[in-house]
Amino acid sequence: MASFEDQLSELEKVVEQLERGDLSLDESVSLFERGVHLSNACKAQLSSAESRIQVLLEPEEHGPVRVEELALTVADEESDEEDEEVDEE
């Protein structure tokens, strides 16, 4: 499996190519499919990382360390992007 950074970099290149608009319809559709695949893979890796991240909170002297899971709001970012797309139309 490619690293998150590699997949994100490839996704950025896909977006740049699609934005240029100089591809045939078939090439654009294939590239779009690749972009969706990369986007989903990045989201899955972010979700996996989210489940592993913990924050240490006020450990008591010689006592147990309290931990709290962080909540990553990928869905919020997606809805922001969707709002931007609607505004542009």
The confidence score (pLDDT) of residue 50 equals 76
20-29 pLDDT, tens per residue?
A: 999 999 999 9
68 close to 50: Cβ distance less than 8 angstroms: no
Taking only Cα atoms into account, the Rg of the chain, rounded to an integer number of angstroms, comes to: 19
Which tokens hold the place of 40?
A: 């989903």
68-85 pLDDT, tens per residue?
A: 666 655 544 444 444 444
- pTM passes above 0.75: no
